[in-house]
Structure 1
Amino acid sequence: MTNYQQYISLNAAIRFGKPCIIGTRIAVQDILGWLASGMTNEDILDDFPELTIAHIQAALAFAADSERRTRLQVA
């Protein structure tokens, strides 16, 4: 997914500026944590009906893009 920006926003007034799914207080970090803990997409969608599979994919794409921009600086 290359258009994750249509699903994710950063707003200093919501969750201290963490990237969140637009229209919710659900952070990308929350979704990644749920997936890492073993929850399936279906589990997440059952627990959070305001989310869609596109939101989950957007969170993954955002994380991948963030990782791609990360640079390690060796002292």
Structure 2
Amino acid sequence: MTHQGGWRATIEGVRTSASVRGKGVGTELIKWAIQRAEERGCHLVQLTTDKKRPDALRLYERLGFKATHEGLKLKI
């Protein structure tokens, strides 16, 4: 179930090699994923990122993502 219905795309586990960081590879990966989601009729793209990765957070914000929720995890 989703709030207000409709398809959502989820992006998880995005990492780039240290040798290509800062060269636009991450930006292109996320743009590609957003385009695929649009083509498939998704009305929302959501992702999570580790709070210990401020560079990743800045990348996502530059691409238009907004912080909307606080996530929780439980290791068992």
Same fold (TM over 0.5): no
Between structures 1 and 2, the one with greater strand share: 2
- TM-score, with length taken from structure 2: 0.31
Give TM-score, length-normalised by structure 1: 0.31
Give the number of the structure with larger relative contact order, counting CA–CA contacts within 8 Å between residues 6 or more apart.
Answer: 2
